[in-house]
Structure 1
Amino acid sequence: MDFGQLKKLMAESRNIVFFGGAGTSTESGIPDFRSADGLYQAQGGGQIAPEEILSHDFFMARTADFYDFYRSKMVYPDVLPNAAHYALAGLEQQGRLAAVITQNIDGLYQKAGSRNVLELHGSVHRNFCMNCREAYSLQDVLKSEGEYPRCKRCGGIVKPDVVLYQESLDMDLLQRAAEYIRQADVLIVAGTSLTVQPAAGLVRLYEGSKFILINKSATPMDGMANYLISDSVAKVLAAMTAGGESP
């Protein structure tokens, strides 16, 4: 594809908003959820479905089993950002990108240098005691002794600050994301199946005519896109911007 027109859009814009999902991080080595090779397809043989393990009820009833799955399948402390993350950080530094809105919990946008990141589903890097709200880092959780991490202050269960099934999104954060999308000049949506609500519904709030959708598989909103690209998110964002190379 000739990216000349998209590069021109990037160069002329001062209010770009990026909305991304798991496909943004797959090229860093983090598996996605809903693709043919994703995490939700990998479980079999009578094992408990990931959707059940990642629910609030399961966390409360079987905390040790939750953490066995969480530590092995959901946390990747050593992965590095890819060209997509660096491209977005570069756009922000140039004053062109207003916000990154993400369904991801891996913290790679921040690691690449992005500052205004709205994490709709939370982050593995924030963890809190459910009793006293004492804060713990990801390393604290990974190095904790016992079947699951307990608070050093009060002994309570330490829970990742991620939104589990049966839990609600932060409505204030969701409203901020909605306002960014409504006001966006250019909206880039990438690496998401656009099937998870209410986050996916945010895309429908965009009223402009520069909607760029990048995803390897079809989405329910392909028909809304002004520019539809079926390719690698990292490859496309690097080609569209001047900030696509890692330092």
Structure 2
Amino acid sequence: MNFSELKRTVQESDNIVFFGGAGTSTESGIPDFRSADGYYYINKTSKYTPEEILSRNFFLEHTEEFYQFYKKQMIYPNANYNPGHEALVELEFRGQLKAIITQNIDGLHQMAGSRNVLELHGSIQRNHCMNCGTSYSLKYVLNSMNTVPECQQCTGIIKPDVVLYQEELDTKLLQNAKSYIAEAEVLIVAGTSLTVQPAAGLIRHYSGDKFILINKSATPFDGIANFIIPDRIAKVLAALISHNVD
């Protein structure tokens, strides 16, 4: 299948599911984990790996150090959605895209205008007091006078609504994601190494023959993908939805 045929396949489908990872947001200036500009490279001189810092135990035992890393490396308040996000909004508007399943926590899909977004790993946009459960915005966390933001109601510690290492994903959310993928005609997977479980395992629930994989580096699922495109995600998605003749 050449790109023109692939494009026609996408444009004729009314049951598309998009599964995305960090690469979806790199063109918005947010680094991924394992590229040359990712968190591992940025923190190669640190005594802790990003995975250690972003674990529940580390959050509970070294909360101040967690927040120092989190505010500096995980939050990009000036980041904006890119043409890839916009292409997905357009697909949803046309009634073709049924769901976006994302491993990202930046909230850029919603910022762009997407409505049915399943955030497997939560979102930096939502935060809550671990003691009384009061909800707080990202702005509140960033504007906190203390390194560790405290609840205004009970002075409890505020935790981001993100799934840390050692924490389990929401069971209902996972089941919904499985259902969307299992029922999809076209599955577009982009910007993910497909190595983080259990999220990566969701791909195995797809049984169709229109599995499109957009990623610059190889993944464990390259062998079962029907179409592999090692290029920029925003460029590819914009081209897939364009009505221009190739």
In which range does the TM-score fall when normalised by the shorter chain?
over 0.9
Query: Quick check: 1:80 aligned with 2:76?
Result: no
Secondary structure at 1:131 match in 2: coil
Measured after TM superposition, the shift of residue 4 of structure 1 is 1.6
**Equivalent in the alignment of 1:56:** 56
Secondary structure at 1:189 match in 2: strand
Please tell me whether the aligned partners of residues 181 and 202 of structure 1 are also in contact (alpha carbons under 8 angstroms).
yes
1:22 and 1:61 mapped to 2: Cα distance? 27
**Equivalent in the alignment of 1:150:** 150
2:129 and 2:138 mapped to 1: Cα distance? 13
Which runs of structure 2 are paired with 1:1-247 in the superposition (5 Å)?
Answer: 3-242=3-242
Letter of the aligned partner of 2:80 in structure 1? L
Letter of the aligned partner of 2:115 in structure 1? R
1:85 and 1:107 mapped to 2: Cα distance? 11
Letter of the aligned partner of 2:114 in structure 1? S
Please tell me whether the aligned partners of residues 11 and 240 of structure 2 are also in contact (alpha carbons under 8 angstroms).
no
Please tell me whether the aligned partners of residues 15 and 184 of structure 2 are also in contact (alpha carbons under 8 angstroms).
yes
2:236 and 2:195 mapped to 1: Cα distance? 22
Please tell me whether the aligned partners of residues 84 and 237 of structure 2 are also in contact (alpha carbons under 8 angstroms).
yes
TM-score of the superposed pair, with normalisation by structure 1: 0.96
Letter of the aligned partner of 1:16 in structure 2? I
1:29 and 1:200 mapped to 2: Cα distance? 24
Measured after TM superposition, the shift of residue 2 of structure 1 is 5.7
Letter of the aligned partner of 2:68 in structure 1? D
Measured after TM superposition, the shift of residue 169 of structure 1 is 0.5
Measured after TM superposition, the shift of residue 46 of structure 1 is 4.7
2:173 and 2:45 mapped to 1: Cα distance? 38
- Could you list the per-position Cα deviations for residues 50-109 of structure 1 after superposition, in whole angstroms to 9, with x for gaps in the alignment? 111111011011111111000000001111111110000100000000000000000010
Secondary structure at 1:59 match in 2: helix
Please tell me whether the aligned partners of residues 19 and 100 of structure 1 are also in contact (alpha carbons under 8 angstroms).
yes
Unmatched 5+ residue regions in structure 1? none
TM-score of the superposed pair, with normalisation by structure 2: 0.96
Distance 1:152 1:240, change over 3 A: same
Measured after TM superposition, the shift of residue 18 of structure 1 is 0.2
Number of positions where the alignment pairs a residue of Structure 1 with one of Structure 2: 243
1:91 and 1:166 mapped to 2: Cα distance? 35
- Name the Cα RMSD after superposition: 1.3
- Could you list the per-position Cα deviations for residues 192-242 of structure 1 after superposition, in whole angstroms to 9, with x for gaps in the alignment? 000000000000110000000000000010011111110001110010013
Q: Percentage identity across aligned positions?
A: 64
2:102 and 2:79 mapped to 1: Cα distance? 17
Please tell me whether the aligned partners of residues 28 and 81 of structure 1 are also in contact (alpha carbons under 8 angstroms).
yes
1:241 and 1:57 mapped to 2: Cα distance? 44
Secondary structure at 2:161 match in 1: strand
Please tell me whether the aligned partners of residues 18 and 187 of structure 1 are also in contact (alpha carbons under 8 angstroms).
yes
Please tell me whether the aligned partners of residues 105 and 162 of structure 1 are also in contact (alpha carbons under 8 angstroms).
yes
Letter of the aligned partner of 1:78 in structure 2? N
